[in-house]
Amino acid sequence: MHLSSAPLSTTAASDLSQHLPDSATIQAQVQLALAEDVGDGDLTAALLPAQQRSRAELVTREAATLAGCAWFEAVFRALDPGVELHWDAADGDRIAAGQRLCVLEGHSRALLTGERTAMNYLQTLSGTATRARRYADAVAGLPVVVLDTRKTLPGLRDQQKYAVRCGGCHNHRRGLFDAILIKENHILAAGSIRAALDAAKALGRDVPIEIEVESVAEMEAAITTGARCILLDNFPLAELRRAVAANAGRSTLEASGGVTLETIRPIAETGVDRISVGDVTKDVTAVDLSMRFVVI
Protein backbone atom coordinates (compact mmCIF):
# COMPACT_ATOMS: atom_id res chain seq x y z
CA MET A 1 0.00 0.00 0.00
CA HIS A 2 1.22 3.48 -0.85
CA LEU A 3 1.35 5.73 2.21
CA SER A 4 1.33 9.50 2.03
CA SER A 5 1.35 12.51 4.30
CA ALA A 6 -1.49 14.16 2.37
CA PRO A 7 -4.13 16.28 4.14
CA LEU A 8 -7.13 14.61 5.72
CA SER A 9 -9.81 13.29 3.42
CA THR A 10 -12.48 15.79 2.36
CA THR A 11 -15.23 13.19 1.93
CA ALA A 12 -17.07 14.28 5.10
CA ALA A 13 -19.76 16.97 5.27
CA SER A 14 -18.66 19.94 3.18
CA ASP A 15 -18.91 22.49 5.97
CA LEU A 16 -16.86 20.63 8.60
CA SER A 17 -13.58 22.32 7.71
CA GLN A 18 -14.89 25.74 8.72
CA HIS A 19 -15.63 24.43 12.22
CA LEU A 20 -12.22 22.81 12.70
CA PRO A 21 -9.84 24.87 14.89
CA ASP A 22 -6.76 26.18 13.09
CA SER A 23 -3.57 24.14 12.96
CA ALA A 24 -1.78 26.21 15.62
CA THR A 25 -4.65 25.71 18.07
CA ILE A 26 -4.73 21.96 17.46
CA GLN A 27 -0.97 21.70 17.91
CA ALA A 28 -1.11 23.62 21.20
CA GLN A 29 -3.90 21.37 22.49
CA VAL A 30 -1.94 18.28 21.49
CA GLN A 31 1.18 19.52 23.29
CA LEU A 32 -0.80 19.82 26.51
CA ALA A 33 -2.20 16.32 26.07
CA LEU A 34 1.24 14.86 25.32
CA ALA A 35 2.69 16.58 28.40
CA GLU A 36 0.27 14.59 30.55
CA ASP A 37 1.45 11.30 29.06
CA VAL A 38 5.09 11.80 28.17
CA GLY A 39 6.42 14.15 30.85
CA ASP A 40 10.21 14.12 30.50
CA GLY A 41 10.23 10.98 28.35
CA ASP A 42 8.57 7.64 27.53
CA LEU A 43 10.63 5.16 29.53
CA THR A 44 9.09 2.05 28.00
CA ALA A 45 9.42 3.17 24.37
CA ALA A 46 13.10 3.89 25.06
CA LEU A 47 13.67 0.11 25.27
CA LEU A 48 13.32 -0.03 21.46
CA PRO A 49 16.10 0.85 18.97
CA ALA A 50 15.86 4.54 18.04
CA GLN A 51 15.76 3.86 14.29
CA GLN A 52 13.31 0.97 14.34
CA ARG A 53 10.22 1.56 12.22
CA SER A 54 6.74 0.08 12.45
CA ARG A 55 3.47 0.09 10.59
CA ALA A 56 0.18 0.27 12.44
CA GLU A 57 -3.44 -0.10 11.41
CA LEU A 58 -6.27 1.65 13.24
CA VAL A 59 -9.51 -0.34 13.35
CA THR A 60 -12.89 0.33 14.91
CA ARG A 61 -14.51 -2.48 16.84
CA GLU A 62 -17.97 -0.91 16.71
CA ALA A 63 -20.21 1.16 14.46
CA ALA A 64 -19.83 4.89 15.10
CA THR A 65 -19.43 8.33 13.56
CA LEU A 66 -15.80 9.37 13.15
CA ALA A 67 -14.43 12.63 14.57
CA GLY A 68 -11.02 13.92 15.65
CA CYS A 69 -8.74 12.88 12.80
CA ALA A 70 -6.80 16.16 12.93
CA TRP A 71 -5.91 15.71 16.63
CA PHE A 72 -5.03 12.05 16.12
CA GLU A 73 -2.70 12.97 13.27
CA ALA A 74 -1.19 15.96 15.09
CA VAL A 75 -0.13 13.75 18.01
CA PHE A 76 2.04 11.55 15.80
CA ARG A 77 3.41 14.47 13.77
CA ALA A 78 4.51 16.15 17.01
CA LEU A 79 6.52 13.02 17.88
CA ASP A 80 7.71 12.09 14.37
CA PRO A 81 7.34 14.84 11.72
CA GLY A 82 8.06 12.26 9.02
CA VAL A 83 5.27 9.88 10.00
CA GLU A 84 3.14 8.75 7.07
CA LEU A 85 -0.63 8.40 7.39
CA HIS A 86 -3.25 7.18 4.97
CA TRP A 87 -6.88 7.67 5.98
CA ASP A 88 -9.60 5.31 4.78
CA ALA A 89 -12.33 7.33 6.51
CA ALA A 90 -12.93 11.00 7.32
CA ASP A 91 -14.55 13.07 10.04
CA GLY A 92 -18.32 12.83 9.78
CA ASP A 93 -18.27 9.38 8.18
CA ARG A 94 -20.42 6.60 9.57
CA ILE A 95 -18.02 3.74 10.23
CA ALA A 96 -18.79 0.03 10.63
CA ALA A 97 -17.49 -2.49 13.14
CA GLY A 98 -14.25 -4.03 11.89
CA GLN A 99 -13.54 -1.21 9.45
CA ARG A 100 -9.96 -0.01 9.01
CA LEU A 101 -9.73 3.73 9.54
CA CYS A 102 -6.11 4.49 8.76
CA VAL A 103 -2.61 3.12 8.30
CA LEU A 104 0.44 4.74 9.91
CA GLU A 105 4.15 4.20 9.27
CA GLY A 106 6.97 5.78 11.25
CA HIS A 107 9.46 5.34 14.05
CA SER A 108 8.33 2.64 16.48
CA ARG A 109 9.05 4.80 19.52
CA ALA A 110 6.87 7.64 18.22
CA LEU A 111 3.98 5.36 17.31
CA LEU A 112 4.02 3.67 20.71
CA THR A 113 4.44 6.92 22.65
CA GLY A 114 1.61 8.64 20.82
CA GLU A 115 -0.80 5.71 20.69
CA ARG A 116 -2.78 6.41 23.87
CA THR A 117 -2.86 10.20 23.52
CA ALA A 118 -4.04 9.96 19.91
CA MET A 119 -6.56 7.24 20.72
CA ASN A 120 -7.95 9.26 23.65
CA TYR A 121 -8.75 12.08 21.24
CA LEU A 122 -10.25 9.91 18.52
CA GLN A 123 -12.26 7.66 20.85
CA THR A 124 -13.71 10.54 22.86
CA LEU A 125 -14.49 12.80 19.91
CA SER A 126 -15.94 9.93 17.89
CA GLY A 127 -18.05 9.08 20.94
CA THR A 128 -19.31 12.67 20.96
CA ALA A 129 -20.03 12.63 17.22
CA THR A 130 -21.78 9.27 17.51
CA ARG A 131 -24.07 10.57 20.24
CA ALA A 132 -24.76 13.73 18.25
CA ARG A 133 -25.60 11.60 15.21
CA ARG A 134 -28.20 9.69 17.23
CA TYR A 135 -29.88 12.95 18.21
CA ALA A 136 -29.75 14.26 14.63
CA ASP A 137 -31.24 11.01 13.35
CA ALA A 138 -33.98 11.14 16.01
CA VAL A 139 -35.42 14.37 14.55
CA ALA A 140 -34.72 13.62 10.89
CA GLY A 141 -37.29 15.20 8.60
CA LEU A 142 -38.40 17.85 11.09
CA PRO A 143 -37.53 21.57 10.72
CA VAL A 144 -35.63 21.85 14.01
CA VAL A 145 -32.00 22.56 14.89
CA VAL A 146 -30.37 20.43 17.60
CA LEU A 147 -27.76 22.36 19.61
CA ASP A 148 -25.07 21.41 22.10
CA THR A 149 -24.39 23.33 25.34
CA ARG A 150 -21.38 24.33 27.47
CA LYS A 151 -21.62 20.99 29.29
CA THR A 152 -18.40 19.73 27.73
CA LEU A 153 -15.49 17.82 29.25
CA PRO A 154 -12.98 20.27 30.82
CA GLY A 155 -10.27 21.22 28.36
CA LEU A 156 -12.12 19.74 25.37
CA ARG A 157 -14.52 22.57 24.47
CA ASP A 158 -13.16 23.21 20.95
CA GLN A 159 -12.77 19.53 20.23
CA GLN A 160 -16.23 18.46 21.36
CA LYS A 161 -17.95 21.40 19.68
CA TYR A 162 -16.30 20.28 16.43
CA ALA A 163 -17.29 16.65 17.03
CA VAL A 164 -20.92 17.73 17.50
CA ARG A 165 -20.81 19.17 13.98
CA CYS A 166 -19.34 15.89 12.69
CA GLY A 167 -22.41 14.16 14.12
CA GLY A 168 -24.84 16.42 12.29
CA CYS A 169 -25.89 18.69 15.15
CA HIS A 170 -25.09 22.37 15.70
CA ASN A 171 -23.23 24.54 18.19
CA HIS A 172 -24.73 26.88 20.76
CA ARG A 173 -22.49 29.62 22.17
CA ARG A 174 -18.90 28.55 22.72
CA GLY A 175 -18.50 30.33 26.05
CA LEU A 176 -19.60 33.29 28.13
CA PHE A 177 -17.98 35.78 25.75
CA ASP A 178 -19.66 35.20 22.37
CA ALA A 179 -23.36 35.47 23.28
CA ILE A 180 -25.62 36.71 26.07
CA LEU A 181 -27.88 34.10 27.66
CA ILE A 182 -30.03 35.66 30.37
CA LYS A 183 -31.08 32.95 32.81
CA GLU A 184 -33.33 32.89 35.86
CA ASN A 185 -30.69 34.17 38.28
CA HIS A 186 -29.73 37.01 35.94
CA ILE A 187 -33.38 38.09 35.82
CA LEU A 188 -33.69 37.91 39.61
CA ALA A 189 -30.50 39.91 40.07
CA ALA A 190 -31.57 42.52 37.49
CA GLY A 191 -35.07 42.82 38.93
CA SER A 192 -37.19 41.90 35.92
CA ILE A 193 -37.17 40.52 32.38
CA ARG A 194 -37.29 44.05 30.97
CA ALA A 195 -34.42 45.26 33.15
CA ALA A 196 -32.25 42.30 32.17
CA LEU A 197 -32.96 42.70 28.46
CA ASP A 198 -32.43 46.47 28.58
CA ALA A 199 -29.07 45.94 30.32
CA ALA A 200 -28.04 43.39 27.69
CA LYS A 201 -28.87 45.78 24.85
CA ALA A 202 -27.08 48.62 26.64
CA LEU A 203 -23.80 46.70 26.48
CA GLY A 204 -23.73 47.47 22.78
CA ARG A 205 -22.10 44.17 21.90
CA ASP A 206 -22.79 42.67 18.51
CA VAL A 207 -23.63 39.20 19.85
CA PRO A 208 -26.82 37.11 20.04
CA ILE A 209 -29.09 37.78 23.02
CA GLU A 210 -31.29 35.01 24.37
CA ILE A 211 -33.45 34.96 27.49
CA GLU A 212 -34.71 31.99 29.50
CA VAL A 213 -38.36 31.88 30.58
CA GLU A 214 -40.34 29.41 32.68
CA SER A 215 -43.91 30.06 31.54
CA VAL A 216 -45.91 31.25 28.56
CA ALA A 217 -46.65 34.46 30.48
CA GLU A 218 -42.92 35.12 30.91
CA MET A 219 -42.43 34.40 27.20
CA GLU A 220 -45.02 37.03 26.32
CA ALA A 221 -43.30 39.52 28.60
CA ALA A 222 -39.98 38.81 26.92
CA ILE A 223 -41.43 39.21 23.42
CA THR A 224 -43.10 42.48 24.42
CA THR A 225 -39.72 43.72 25.63
CA GLY A 226 -38.15 42.90 22.28
CA ALA A 227 -36.63 39.46 22.83
CA ARG A 228 -35.90 37.75 19.53
CA CYS A 229 -34.62 34.44 20.91
CA ILE A 230 -36.28 32.75 23.89
CA LEU A 231 -35.26 29.62 25.78
CA LEU A 232 -38.22 27.62 27.12
CA ASP A 233 -36.83 25.98 30.24
CA ASN A 234 -38.21 22.54 31.12
CA PHE A 235 -41.62 23.16 29.53
CA PRO A 236 -43.92 20.10 29.40
CA LEU A 237 -45.05 19.16 25.89
CA ALA A 238 -48.46 20.78 26.32
CA GLU A 239 -46.83 24.04 27.41
CA LEU A 240 -44.40 23.91 24.49
CA ARG A 241 -47.33 23.62 22.09
CA ARG A 242 -49.06 26.56 23.83
CA ALA A 243 -45.88 28.61 23.61
CA VAL A 244 -45.40 27.90 19.90
CA ALA A 245 -49.01 28.84 19.16
CA ALA A 246 -48.84 32.02 21.25
CA ASN A 247 -45.50 33.04 19.77
CA ALA A 248 -46.87 32.79 16.21
CA GLY A 249 -43.40 33.09 14.73
CA ARG A 250 -42.50 36.37 16.45
CA SER A 251 -39.36 35.02 18.13
CA THR A 252 -37.06 32.02 17.80
CA LEU A 253 -38.03 29.43 20.41
CA GLU A 254 -35.54 27.01 21.93
CA ALA A 255 -36.58 24.10 24.13
CA SER A 256 -34.13 22.96 26.78
CA GLY A 257 -33.93 20.91 29.96
CA GLY A 258 -33.81 17.16 30.45
CA VAL A 259 -33.89 16.33 26.74
CA THR A 260 -33.11 12.68 25.94
CA LEU A 261 -33.09 10.48 22.86
CA GLU A 262 -36.53 9.25 23.89
CA THR A 263 -38.07 12.71 24.31
CA ILE A 264 -36.41 14.80 21.62
CA ARG A 265 -38.71 13.91 18.73
CA PRO A 266 -41.96 14.66 20.61
CA ILE A 267 -40.37 17.97 21.67
CA ALA A 268 -39.42 18.74 18.07
CA GLU A 269 -42.94 17.91 16.90
CA THR A 270 -44.34 20.77 19.04
CA GLY A 271 -42.91 23.19 16.48
CA VAL A 272 -40.04 24.76 18.43
CA ASP A 273 -37.21 26.09 16.30
CA ARG A 274 -34.28 24.76 18.32
CA ILE A 275 -33.54 22.17 21.00
CA SER A 276 -30.42 22.33 23.16
CA VAL A 277 -29.11 19.07 24.61
CA GLY A 278 -26.40 18.83 27.26
CA ASP A 279 -26.39 15.05 26.95
CA VAL A 280 -24.67 15.29 23.55
CA THR A 281 -21.34 16.25 25.13
CA LYS A 282 -21.48 15.34 28.82
CA ASP A 283 -22.64 11.70 28.72
CA VAL A 284 -20.16 10.39 26.17
CA THR A 285 -19.02 6.78 25.78
CA ALA A 286 -15.67 6.39 24.02
CA VAL A 287 -15.74 4.44 20.77
CA ASP A 288 -13.86 1.13 20.92
CA LEU A 289 -10.82 1.48 18.63
CA SER A 290 -7.70 -0.67 18.24
CA MET A 291 -4.20 -0.06 16.85
CA ARG A 292 -2.28 -3.07 15.58
CA PHE A 293 1.51 -2.79 15.15
CA VAL A 294 3.86 -4.59 12.75
CA VAL A 295 7.64 -4.06 12.81
CA ILE A 296 9.02 -3.42 9.32
Would residue 116 show up in a list of annotated catalytic residues for this protein? yes
pLDDT digits (tens, 9 = 90+) for 212-241: 999 999 999 999 999 999 999 999 999 999
pTM of the model: 0.92
Catalytic status, residue 57: no
- What is each CA distance from 212 to 100, 113, 228, 282, 290, in whole angstroms? 45, 47, 12, 21, 44
CB 156 within 8 A of CB 286: no
Please report which confidence band the pLDDT of residue 208 belongs to, taking 50, 70 and 90 as the band edges: very high
Identify the helix (H) or strand (E) that includes residue 152. Answer: none
Cα separation, 13 vs 228, in Å, equals 30
Edge-to-edge strand list for the sheet holding 274-276: 145-147, 274-276, 252-256, 229-233, 209-213, 180-182
Residue 161: active-site member? no
- CA 32 to chain CA centroid, nearest Å: 19
135: exposed, middle or buried (Cβ count in 10 Å: 0-12, 13-18, 19+): buried
In eight-state DSSP terms, residue 207 is S
Asked about 183 being catalytic, the answer comes back as yes
CA distances from 91 to 15, 47, 106, 197, 286 (A): 11, 35, 23, 39, 16
> Which of 80, 91, 212, 279 is the catalytic position?
212
> Is-contact 208 228, C-beta < 8 A?
no
CA 199 to each of CA 178, 186, 193, 226, 230: distance values in angstroms, whole numbers, following the listed order: 16, 11, 10, 13, 16
Active-site option among 53, 134, 183, 194: 183
pLDDT digits (tens, 9 = 90+) for 99-154: 999 999 999 999 999 999 999 999 999 999 999 999 999 999 999 999 999 999 99
Whole-number pLDDT of residue 296? 85
Candidate list 77, 116, 157, 250, residue with the active-site label: 116
| Catalytic residue (choose from 151, 241, 242, 265) | 151
Q: State yes or no: is 269 an active-site residue.
A: no
